[in-house]
Amino acid sequence: MNPAAALDLRIDAIAEQRRRTWATRAAIYAAIAAAVAWSVYAIVVADTDWSRLAFGTISRTLGRFLYFDAALLPDLVDPAIDTVLMATLATLLGLFLALPVAWLGAANITPLGKASFVFGRGLMTLSRSVHEIVWGLIFVSAVGLGALAGVLAMAARSIGFISKIIAEAIEDVQPGPMEAIQAVGGNKLQVLLYGIVPQVLPVILGTVIFEWDINIRRSTIMGLVGAGGLGLVLFRQMAMLNYGGIATVILAVLVLIALGEVVSHYARKAIL
């Protein structure tokens, strides 16, 4: 076969391969589009009470939330303080419990090799996979109603996020300081305290501040499962169908979250 014919065959083969690739991609995109369309129909179209979506009904419903129950404001001070305290205690407890989990889940310092690494990563996954509302239900059934159940629920939820970030930061540390400490006879604890902790301390502090900011939001809904704070007041107002009270509590939650954003912003700048 002459070179020109071989080149033509090669070009034809490439063109045919590209046509098959395009056809495969088109089939995949069509399948994805069909799945999305079916999901929209099954979840939005078929499962929606369209009779309630009349303009008059929507405007009347939204209008009920435009009234604010100012008489409720004095009763929101203590729950708001409880919400902040719950978030703070949950973050500190989550950090305390996350440190050993991060130690187990960091591949370069895990004490028992692959077994402890898998165990640590499993704890991280378990903590992050269970929603805080579910943790709240678990701890409410275990310790009863009140802020303690909310603190424990948010702490359990915080372990996975904090430990995962710290563990990945530990895995990315520079080996030089650790090797220097080992070279002068330092033990594993000294390597951890003086070779690893200084490198990951900014990550730990930043993660804790960010998690505290998140827990401010979480603590506002912990009351929906009886775990105290503004969420409990919101649940009571919903049970009484007091739309003005609901709007007032939501406004208080927004103000609290905004204050949390400001505090966390300046705390990051001051510490980091």
pTM above 0.85, yes or no: no
> String of b and e for 242-256 (b: at least 16 CB within 10 Å)?
bbbbbbbbbebbeeb
- How far is 177 from 186, CA to CA, in rounded Å? 11
List, in order, residues 6 or more apart from 271 with CB less than 8 Å away: 205, 209
Low-confidence ranges of the chain (pLDDT < 50): none
pLDDT value, residue 8? 59
pLDDT value, residue 53? 66
pLDDT value, residue 101? 92
pLDDT value, residue 159? 93
- How far is 182 from 177, CA to CA, in rounded Å? 9
- How far is 91 from 48, CA to CA, in rounded Å? 39
SS3 66: coil
Token pair in block for residue 27: 């089939």
pLDDT value, residue 106? 87
What sign results for the dihedral spanned by CA atoms 141, 145, 147, 150?
positive
Contact 127, 167 (CB under 8 A): no
pLDDT value, residue 5? 60
The H or E element containing residue 268 is helix 243-271
> String of b and e for 136-164 (b: at least 16 CB within 10 Å)?
bbbbbeeeeeebbbbbbbbbbbbbbbbbb
pLDDT value, residue 54? 63
